[in-house]
Amino acid sequence: MSPGPWTIVPVRGIAAGKTRLAAVLDAPARARLNRRLLEHTLGVVALWSGGLERCLVVSACPETRVLATRRGAVAVAETRPAAGLNAALTLAAARAAGAGASRALVLASDLPRLVPEALAVLASAAAAGRRMAIAPDSRREGTNALVLPLEAPYEFRYGEQSFARHLALAAGRGWSAAVVERAELAFDLDTPEDLAGWPGLAAPGAGAGGPG
């Protein structure tokens, strides 16, 4: 049986993230939320994978990298922050491949209902050959999680309509793609409406949906 994928968690930053929530959360509250979400994500990944030795947190934010390191993950500093998310993921994927990873699971850090079982299902969906597995957001527009092989450089296409763009890229490479739609992977905190639908953070390992 081949080893499971390495996990890559991109994080904009503790203070810089979730600016779309500025209408309902002030800067200190957003920083607390970002820290809490990252802690939750790393806790779930640790439960799923048995530790964080093969989890890379890529960020331009020093506080994020310190938090990741303290939890046992590998912190990767963005070398070109202005180049954006896709460049950061390319850097982290190359780092993982250089360390021997054959597959990567790219995971958003703003999934408050995330549980280990959802990651297990996603990883299993991409376990055979060159299959990709992708988990869209609830609008089927963005990409909240993505499993892919690392034997060749991959052009990440995060941004507007990234779900459709990642599927198109997989088709262009001849990869069959498994779409995994689970509430724990689809629900993210992007907008004030999302925040209103999430009264509290699910504990790692809790049942799907958590409180609320």
Helices (H) and strands (E) in the chain, counts: 7, 7
Decide if pLDDT at 201 tops 80.
no
The least confident of 1-15, 54-68, 175-189, 197-211 is 197-211
CB 92 within 8 A of CB 148: no
Decide if pLDDT at 203 tops 80.
no
* pLDDT recorded at residue 129: 59
CB 19 within 8 A of CB 119: no
pLDDT per position as a tens digit, 128-159: 656 899 999 999 999 999 999 987 778 899 99
Decide if pLDDT at 96 tops 70.
yes
Q: Which domains does the chain have, with CATH numbers?
A: 6-196 (3.90.550.10)
pLDDT per position as a tens digit, 13-25: 999 999 999 999 9
Q: Which residues in 21-38 are b (16+ Cβ under 10 Å) and which e?
A: beeebeeeebbebbbebb
- End-to-end Cα spacing for the chain: 37
pLDDT per position as a tens digit, 36-45: 999 999 999 9
Length of the chain: 212
Decide if pLDDT at 178 tops 80.
yes
* pLDDT recorded at residue 202: 47
- Between the alpha carbon of residue 23 and those of residues 106, 128, 158, 200, the distances in Å are 29, 44, 25, 19
Question: Which of 2-6, 162-166, 207-211 has the highest average model confidence (pLDDT)?
Answer: 162-166
Q: How confident is the model at residue 100 (pLDDT cuts 50, 70, 90)?
A: very high
